[in-house]
Amino acid sequence: LLTNVFYSKNSPVKYTGGSETINISTSDDMNVEKAVAKKSLPSVVGISTLSLQESMIPFEKDRQVMGTGSGVIIKEDGYILTNSHVVSDGKAQSIKVLFDDGESSEAELLWNDSILDLAIIKAHRTGLTPITLGDSDLVEVGDKAIAIGNPLGLELQSTLTSGYISGKNRNIKITGGIEMSGLLQTDASINPGNSGGALLNAKGELIGINTAKIQGTDGIGFAIPINTAKPIVDSVIKTGNYESIQLGLAAADIASFQAMTGQEVGVEKGVVITNIEPDSIAEQTGLETGDVITKLGKTPIDNMGNLKKELMKYTVGDETEITVYRAGKEKTMKIIFAKKR
Active site residue 85: yes
**Which of 43, 21, 235, 48 shows the shortest CA–CA distance to 127?**
43
Residue 66 CA to residue 301 CA, distance in Å, equals 36
The DSSP string of 41-102 is GGGEEEEEEEEEEPPSSTTPPPEEEEEEEEEEE-STTSEEEE-TGGGGGGT-SEEEEE-TTS
Active site residue 114: no
Q: Catalytic pick from 48, 70, 117, 181? A: 117
Catalytic residue, candidates 181, 195, 244, 256: 195
Shortest CA distance to 28 belongs to which of 4, 3, 11, 6?
A: 6
Burial 233-272, CB ≥16 within 10 A → b, else e: bebbbeeeebebbebbbebbbbebbeeeeeeeeeeebbbb
Q: Which of 70, 85, 158, 256 is catalytic?
A: 85
Residue 11 annotated as catalytic: no
Catalytic residue numbers, as ranges:
85, 117, 195
